[in-house]
Amino acid sequence: MPTPSWSDEHDALLARSAPDLPEPTQAEVDRTWNRIDAAATPTRPRARRGRILVGVAAAVAVTGFSGIAVADLNTARTGAGPVDEEDLRLGGAGERLDTSAPDLREVFAAESADVPFPSDEARQASLDWQVKSLATTPGSERVLVSTGAVRSWIAADAVCAWANQWAVSTRSGDEPARNAAIKQIQSADTWPAITVADALFRADGSDEYAYLDVLSTAVEGRDQRAVAKALVDNGSGCDASLVPDLPDASWPIFHEKREARQSQHPSSDRALQRSTTVARPGNLDDPEVQEMLKHLDRLRHVER
Cα→Cα distances 83→23, 29, 146, Å:
17, 18, 12
d(Cα 286, Cα 292) in Å, to the nearest integer?
10
Q: At what angle do helices 49-59 and 147-172 cross, to 10 degrees?
A: 120
Helices and strands in the chain: count of H runs, count of E runs? 14, 2
- Confirm if 228 and 248 have CB atoms less than 8 A apart: yes
| pTM as predicted | 0.66
* Sign for the pseudo-dihedral over CA of 84, 93, 43, 276: negative
d(Cα 242, Cα 232) in Å, to the nearest integer?
13
Backbone angles phi, psi at 99, to 5 degrees: -75, 0
Identify the helix (H) or strand (E) that includes residue 64.
none
133: left (phi over 0), alpha (psi -120 to 50) or beta: alpha
Of the candidates 50, 134, 133, 53, the one whose C-alpha atom is nearest the C-alpha of residue 98 is: 134
Pairing of strands 96-98, 144-146: antiparallel
- The count of other CB atoms within 10 Å of the CB of residue 299 is 18
Q: At what angle do helices 147-172 and 120-134 cross, to 10 degrees?
A: 140
Identify the helix (H) or strand (E) that includes residue 96.
strand 96-98
- Confirm if 239 and 125 have CB atoms less than 8 A apart: yes
* HSE-up of residue 284 (Cα within 13 Å, Cβ side): 4
Instruction: Classify residue 74 by its DSSP letter.
Output: T
d(Cα 53, Cα 50) in Å, to the nearest integer?
5
Encode the chain (304 residues) as per-residue pLDDT tens digits: 454 556 666 666 655 655 555 666 666 555 555 555 444 444 444 333 233 333 434 444 433 334 444 445 589 999 999 888 888 888 889 999 999 999 999 999 999 999 999 999 999 999 999 999 898 887 777 789 999 999 999 999 999 999 999 999 999 999 999 999 999 999 999 999 999 999 988 888 888 898 999 999 999 999 999 999 999 886 668 999 999 999 999 977 666 666 665 666 554 444 444 433 333 344 445 555 555 555 545 544 444 4
